[in-house]
Amino acid sequence: MRSVGVEEELLLVDARDGAPLAVSGAVLAAADREAWQQSGGSGGKTHEFEKELHKEQLEFATKPVTDLGELQAEIIRIRGEAARHAAEADAVVAAVATSPLAVRPSLSVGPRYQWMGEQFGLTAQEQLTCGCHVHVSVDSDEEGVAVLDRIRPWLAVLLAMSANSPFWQGEDSGYGSYRSRVWNRWPSAGPVDLFGSADRYHEQVDAMIGTGVLRDVGMIYFDARLSASYPTVEVRVADVCLHATTPVLLAALIRGLVETAARAWRAGEPPSRIGTGLLRLSSWRAGRSGLDGPLLHPETMRETSAAHAVDALYQHVREALADHGDEELVREGIARLHEEGNGARVQRQLFRDGGSLAQVMTRCARITSQG
């Protein structure tokens, strides 16, 4: 069975008023101290946390697992540890993809981040967004690129399901995922053309880095890519999700997509030739609607309801889900998402109930730390 792992980016915010705090250095230092103490001063123990582009962010990655119950337990555990370390800096963590409150982010220290700030100006300065990346193991780069070519039309549905960024700089953006719109200001982000082979994929990546516009392979921000560090396909399209159950649902669906695509490749079935322009429209529609408006059907690129688009994804991967033992988990997760809403719907409801964006942020932080 293919292994899966999840990376999440979290916001660090003031526990009292929900304002983002530039304290990632202090939070990482707290995590370092605990790891040092637990190793008895040997330095043998490490933690899961890393800094991100801005000091108001914290990133973590789970270990690769095959059991999705174990994955959910890992996410809940690490979110709890992040909250505990953040408390040492008088902060809390919130799994929201943009700050509801107005903020002027602070770039993290380091030559790579400083280069990005100088190269991309306001795009880098304002890029305080938090995503969820799902890694699924593949047997080779050739299989991985075959998967990338075949999952392209389905990624927008995952974005809609994960949408968790309705507010931007103190206002309702009108989008379910405004993070996706901000993120796509990077010149290497978004949907991509068919590659056809691993050689062509790597040629394209090398050519993009060779322009000098991008610093390194880490700035290949495709919606889905080959990981530069692991033998995985990395799907990067999703917002960080408010409830810890949602990234597990996404991981199940993405593993199903990867397996379905790999089987089609081995059977000699060609990928859909839907153009990148249409995929960009589908991505925009998903970011705008979330689950509260129409989406483009992944197979026809015609408008349909969010429920129909999600069901089409479920039906597309159903055989692989059944083989993995994930079918019931996905059915229940989709039903819960439609009934309770994704993060965008929850955030808007919290705002209607409390009338304050600060309360939205502090309540979301409570949900994050409680799992």
Domain that holds residue 186: 4-370
Distance CA 303, CA 49 (A): 40
**What is the model's pLDDT at position 219?**
97
**What is the model's pLDDT at position 196?**
98
Q: Is 251 left (phi over 0), alpha (psi -120 to 50) or beta?
A: alpha
Q: Which residues contact 28 (CB under 8 A, 6 or more apart)?
A: 49, 50, 51, 58, 85
**What is the model's pLDDT at position 108?**
96
Query: CATH number for the domain including 117?
Result: 3.30.590.20
Buried b (16+ CB within 10 A) or exposed e, 93-112: bbbbbbbbbebebbbbeeee
pLDDT in tens, 218-260: 999 999 999 999 999 999 999 999 999 999 999 999 999 999 9
63 contacts 5 by C-beta, under 8 angstroms = yes
The three-state (H, E, C) secondary structure of 236-299, written as one string: EEEECCCCCHHHHHHHHHHHHHHHHHHHHHHCCCCCCCCCHHHHHHHHHHHHHHCCCCCEECCC
**What is the model's pLDDT at position 74?**
97
Structure tokens at 14: 């003031």
**What is the model's pLDDT at position 47?**
84
- Blockwise average pLDDT, block size 10, the chain, 371 residues: 97 95 97 88 78 97 97 97 96 98 96 97 96 98 98 98 98 98 98 98 98 97 96 98 98 98 98 98 98 98 98 98 98 97 98 94 94 70
**What is the model's pLDDT at position 43?**
66
Structural domains counted in the chain: 1
Q: Global pTM?
A: 0.97
**What is the model's pLDDT at position 44?**
64
